Amino acid sequence: MNQSTSTFLGHPKGLFLLFGTEMWERFSYYGMRAILVLYLVATVQDGGFGWSNSEALALYGWFTMAVYLTPVLGGWIADNLLGQRKSIIFGGLLMAVGHFTLGTPQAWLGNSAEMAFYVGLTLLCCGNGLFKPNISTLVGDLYQEGDTRRDGAFTIFYMGINIGAFVAPLVIGYVGEKIDWQLGFIFAGVGMLISVAMQLALSNKYLGSIGIKPSAHGVNSGDEVSAKDRPLTSIERDRVKVILIMSVISIVFWVGYEQGGGLLNIYAKDFTDLNIMGWEMPASWLQAVSAFFVVTLAPVFASLWTKMGDNQPSSPKKFAFSLLLVGIGFLFMVAATMEQGGDLNVKVSVLYLIMTYLFLVLGELCISPIGLSLVSKLAPIKYLSLLMGVWFACSAIANKVAGVVGSFIGEGPEQINNAFSIFAGLTISGFIAGGLVFLMADKLVDWMHGAEDRAQVEHSELDQDPV
Ligand code: GLN
Tell me the per-residue pLDDT of 408-452, one tens digit each, with 9 for 90 and over: 888 788 889 999 999 999 999 999 999 999 999 999 999 999 887
Lowest mean pLDDT among 149-163, 216-230, 374-388: 216-230
Burial 95-129 (b: 16+ CB within 10 A, else e): bbbbbbbbbbebeeeeeeeeebbeebbbbbbbbbb
Q: Which residues contact 21 (CB under 8 A, 6 or more apart)?
A: 88, 135, 195, 198, 199
Tell me the per-residue pLDDT of 283-326, one tens digit each, with 9 for 90 and over: 777 877 899 999 999 999 988 988 888 888 999 999 999 999 99
Name the residue at shortest CA distance from atom 7 of ligand 1.
395
CA–CA distance, 416 with 183 (Å, rounded to integer):
39
**Comparing 277 with 436, which gets the higher pLDDT?**
436
Nearest ligand 1 atom to the CA of 162 is 1
Measure 252 CA to ligand 1 centroid, in angstroms. 15
**CA-based torsion, 228, 229, 235, 237: positive or negative:** positive
Neighbours of 278 (CB within 10 A): 5
What does pTM read for this prediction?
0.86
Of 124, 395, 397, 399, the residue with max ligand 1 atoms within 8 A of its CB, to mutate for a pocket test, comes to: 395
Look at residue 280 and tell me whether its pLDDT is greater than 50.
yes
> What pLDDT is attached to residue 227?
59
> What pLDDT is attached to residue 136?
93
Neighbours of 435 (CB within 10 A): 14
With a Cβ cut-off of 6 Å, ligand 1 is lined by 26, 161, 254, 368, 392, 395
Q: Are 322 and 179 in contact (CB under 8 A)?
A: no
> What pLDDT is attached to residue 302?
86
> What pLDDT is attached to residue 6?
78
> What pLDDT is attached to residue 76?
94
